[in-house]
Amino acid sequence: MNKELKDLYLKFEEKYFYQKEYLSSINQFLNSISNYYETLEDNNKLSIIESLLIPDRIITFKVPWTDDLGNKRVNIGYRVQHNNAIGVYKGGTRFVKDLNESVLKFLAFEQTFKNALTNLPLGGAKGGSDFNPLNKSDLEKKRFSQSYMIELHKYIGPNIDVPAGDLGVTYKNIAHMYGIYKRITNFHDASFTSKHISYGGSLLRPESTGYGISYITEKAYKLYNDESLENKTVVISGSGQVGINTAYKMRELNAKLIAMSSIYGVIYDENGIDVELVDKLNRENKNIKEYLKKHKGAKYFKDTKEIWNIKCDIAIPCATQYELDINDATKLVNNKVKLIVEGSNKPSTNEAIKYFYDNKIVLVPSKVANAGGVIVSNLEMEQNQTFKKWDSLTVDNKLKEIMYTTFNNLYQKSLKLEDKYNLEKAANILAFKYLYDAIKLQDL
């Protein structure tokens, strides 16, 4: 890493030593732009980068609510508005136990770059609460969601910050948040995405991240291997909304899905995963091991890490951040994997990413691969603001076009850098250039 950038990182490390997720993200970014940084002819270039690393604002507030027994409870609510140099703040809202500022700063930072890479006029943000929706009644989740929005509404709006759904946030949660937002503000506007289709949501919004991952996979495999996805073996970790919709679309693109995982373990079915059954088990919160009752030739592994031991052409981690470490990367490379596509937000550790790169294995970074959600959120905002509603084919075609274009821009950048296997580096430099120019020109 360039000495000036290294000194900047050490400054952040000293100040935020307890925020490992945030530090890991900015360390990886600074490493990837080091050579490019030296080509910039600007006396203020270091201060512009420092400005980009620091969120514009971090909003923290208490969220009081009442449980079904009448007890008063309190959680912490957050919104990290990272950067709006390119457009309004945009990013998801998650309700997850132990959610903290470090995770949200890392996610908001990554979201800023993700949004820049799509060439859409969107800045980056992320928010949520340490509220755990598991084992909560519908009424408890409603009371919490409304209380969360009573405070958050002060900081959002169609021209300021447009939240969406994320982990732990369902259509019901969004409906309750948007409903109380309208009662407080008297506005029905594009201030929230991931809404239900009945009151302004877009078709394919739930499927969008998974579909986008699949289109990126198709494009990347074709460019690097000059082959279609037909009969290429695929494993997908995670069978929630992102993983399951990736599975459906990959099957539609004629890939052969042979393994999926959930919190309960891994199913390996060399004849091809029964996606509908996995989806049903997941929605009913049943152990994925139940799959064996219908498909007796399949295999079950309790340890979710076993999915990376399965020989495949393509691996798509869709479960959570940092789920794929150096040991998993070694197994995949030894089994001659050809493509890694990051479905969840930064599922690979920095060590794993470097190992793939050193072994010339193509890894599509999450800031590109899972951009489908924010792309269709932008399409939802466009429909809301023009009072239109598009059919699913129109939305799907627009999503596919933007995903293909985004990856093609990334690929061309990697060729210019003469480093076509380091897509993480190409993505960071490409997004950084957009953001750097916007910050510099506006003197932000």
Token readout for 214 is 């699949």
Q: Which residues contact 252 (CB under 8 A, 6 or more apart)?
A: 214
CA-CA distance, 238 to 215, in Å (whole number)? 18
The Cα-based distances of 147 to 75, 101, 187 in angstroms read 10, 20, 18
Query: 3-state DSSP helix/strand/coil percent for the chain, to nearest 5?
Result: 50, 15, 30
Q: Could you write out the DSSP letters of every residue in 54-116?
A: S-SEEEEEEEEEE-TTS-EEEEEEEEEEEE-SSSBEEEEEEE-TT--HHHHHHHHHHHHHHHH
Is 67 exposed, middle or buried (CB count within 10 Å of its CB: 0-12, 13-18, 19+)? Answer: middle
Give, to the nearest 10 degrees, the angle between helix 392-416 and helix 101-117. Answer: 90
Q: Which residues contact 15 (CB under 8 A, 6 or more apart)?
A: none
Q: Does 11 qualify as catalytic in the annotation? A: no
Identified catalytic residue from 105, 114, 126, 249? 126
Tell how strand 265-268 and strand 233-237 pair up.
unpaired
So which residues are the catalytic ones?
Answer: 126
